[in-house]
Amino acid sequence: MAGYRKLGRTSSQRKALIRSQVTALLYHGKIRTTETRAKEIRKVAEGLIAMAVKEKDNYETVKVTAKVPRKDKDGKRVKEVVDGKKVTVFDEVEKEIKKDNASRLHARRQMLKVLYGVTEVPEAAAGKKKNTKEVDLVAKLFDEIAPKYVSRNGGYTRIVKIGPRKGDAAMEVLLELV
């Protein structure tokens, strides 16, 4: 008996399908798919969530001084003339950052192997590159999703049957985070 379902695809297509569906599940909180796909996606998603729960608090906060360009009221960099050249003016700012310990860094990299990058587009600028922003799904896993499941020992997802799909009568389900 095989350890996984082939889903009627080659290995590269299957991996891409699972990665995209897991990314969508963690970003939106629920997805609608077929039952067999949901059972495969559930394995990967629960593994990622378990990893996030385990490494949730495994970091140190460190104070760092950084040079940040000074900006005017329009958000553009302030320039100064020095020796006949225009030079950007920088301010030193103290920031507090999270420094991952080795095992959390490893977990972060394992998650990045599975998850695709997500770009959030505002409704007003649909179809345009301006004002789009990258969503850090790994940070969302550590900061939002993992704290919800600290007291749970597995079972982070739920499969709810919707009914047969109209075209091919495949059983459709709703896969959601509990």
Identify whether residues 93 and 164 lie together within a single domain: no
Identify whether residues 84 and 139 lie together within a single domain: no
Model pLDDT for residues 38-83, shown as the tens digit of each residue: 999 999 999 999 999 999 999 999 999 999 999 888 888 989 888 8
Identify whether residues 113 and 94 lie together within a single domain: no
**Is 3 within a domain?**
no
Q: Is the model's pLDDT at 19 over the cut of 70? A: yes
Q: Is the model's pLDDT at 34 over the cut of 90? A: yes
Percent of the chain clearing pLDDT 90 (strictly above): 80
Domain count across the chain? 2
Distance (Å, whole) CA 66 – CA 83? 25
Burial 28-52 (b: 16+ CB within 10 A, else e): eeebebbeebbebbbebbbebbbbb
Identify whether residues 64 and 16 lie together within a single domain: no
The domain boundary, picked from 68, 100, 132, lies at 100
Percent of the chain clearing pLDDT 70 (strictly above): 98
Can you spell out the DSSP letters for 89-135?
-EEEEEEEEEEE-HHHHHHHHHHHHHPPPEEE--STTTT-STT-EEE
pLDDT value at residue 22: 98
Give the 3-state secondary structure percentages of the chain, helix then strand then coil, rounded to 5.
Answer: 35, 35, 30
* Confidence grade of residue 129 (pLDDT, cut at 50, 70, 90): confident
**Contact 41/4 with Cβ under 8 angstroms?**
no
The domain of 162 spans 11-57+101-177
pLDDT value at residue 163: 96
Identify whether residues 150 and 133 lie together within a single domain: yes
